[in-house]
């Protein structure tokens, strides 16, 4: 498994991480333990949470398997700031309370990475900085990031932080990649040429911010793997998967990992067999022609 360096404040992490939003669906603590152990066996040491996943129950379930030995082996990321149905909340009070809640549920003394979960239109960067400084000083969080932020939102936040954010987690797949579409259609008067994120990929590459891809197999809320809505894409994934003796899911992840931005992929599967199959992506380096073939098969058009 390839490893990447997100921050000097935490260990190197696997290029593929396990998203824990659905682990409560496994039905037992023992099955959660089996999933985590299987992930570690194939080189995955990164586990992504959020305080809202299953209303906090996902963190609680993960916490039930936490031991000092396991904590040394893994890198934990969680997210805060979404108050479902109410607001996004970057207030100092909410951030501090949210982290304390996550620490309690996860049964750990520290979080490796804390992400602010979607932008808050009422963000006051000075207040966020105060919260981050307290969490860092108390050893509760080692480094910080954001989710679904554009470059200027990150710049505004960084203007008050002692350490710049090190991660931005965005929805990204071959079927949902407006960041790629906008970059390829510069100065073209079409929908794809409309920049919806302010050259986010280029910004993160320049600023050494790790991009994380969530929903790597989805378009909106639809899964494109095996879907009749994406016949040409699936044909391309299957043909290329056969060449590399891998699965279409692994090729879809290899497509993400082929980008020179060094995007870390967060996989939400709770099936051990599928997680192991997807890890094959770490050993696959698609050719330029294959990368573009997959992109075009998703219904994209080069200008």
Residues known to be catalytic:
53
d(CA 30, CA 52): 22
- Summary count for the chain: helices (H), strands (E): 12, 14
d(CA 3, CA 260): 14
d(CA 264, CA 87): 28
Would you say how long the chain is, in residues?
303
Buried b (16+ CB within 10 A) or exposed e, 48-66: bbbbbbbebebbbbbbebb
* Residues 91/126, Cβ–Cβ less than 8 Å: no
221: CB partners within 8 A, 6+ apart = none
* Residues 282/13, Cβ–Cβ less than 8 Å: no
* Residues 21/51, Cβ–Cβ less than 8 Å: no
Please report which helix (H) or strand (E) contains residue 14, including its range: strand 13-14
Helix, strand, or coil here: 38? helix
Q: What are phi and psi of 286, to 5 degrees?
A: -65, 145
Question: In this structure, how many other beta carbons lie within 10 angstroms of the beta carbon of residue 246?
Answer: 21
């Amino acid at each position: 498994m390839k490893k990447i360096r997100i921050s000097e404040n935490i260990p190197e992490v696997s290029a593929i991480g396990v998203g824990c939003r659905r682990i409560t669906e496994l039905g037992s603590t023992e099955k959660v333990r089996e999933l985590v152990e299987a992930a570690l066996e194939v080189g995955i040491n990164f586990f992504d949470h959020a305080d809202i996943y299953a209303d906090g129950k996902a963190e609680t379930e993960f916490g039930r398997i936490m031991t000092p030995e396991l904590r040394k082996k893994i890198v934990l990321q969680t997210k805060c700031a979404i108050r479902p149905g109410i607001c996004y909340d970057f207030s100092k009070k909410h951030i501090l309370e949210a982290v304390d809640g996550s620490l309690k549920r996860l049964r750990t003394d520290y979080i490796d990475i804390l992400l602010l979960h979607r932008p808050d239109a009422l963000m006051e960067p000075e207040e966020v900085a105060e919260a981050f400084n307290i969490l860092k000083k108390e050893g509760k969080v080692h480094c910080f990031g954001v989710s679904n932020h554009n470059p200027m939102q990150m710049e505004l936040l960084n203007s008050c932080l002692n350490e710049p954010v090190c991660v931005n987690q965005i929805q990204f797949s071959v079927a949902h990649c407006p960041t790629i579409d906008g970059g390829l259609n510069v100065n073209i008067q079409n929908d794809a040429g409309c920049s919806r994120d302010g050259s986010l990929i280029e910004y993160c590459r320049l600023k050494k911010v790790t991009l994380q891809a969530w929903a790597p197999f989805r378009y909106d809320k639809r899964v494109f793997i095996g879907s009749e809505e994406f016949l040409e894409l699936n044909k391309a994934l299957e043909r290329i998967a056969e060449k590399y003796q891998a699965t279409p899911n692994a090729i879809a992840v290899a497509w993400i990992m082929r980008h020179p931005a060094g995007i870390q992929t967060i996989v939400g599967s709770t099936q051990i067999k599928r997680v192991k199959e997807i890890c094959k992506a770490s050993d696959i380096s698609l050719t330029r022609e294959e990368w573009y073939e997959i992109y075009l098969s998703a219904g994209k058009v080069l200008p």
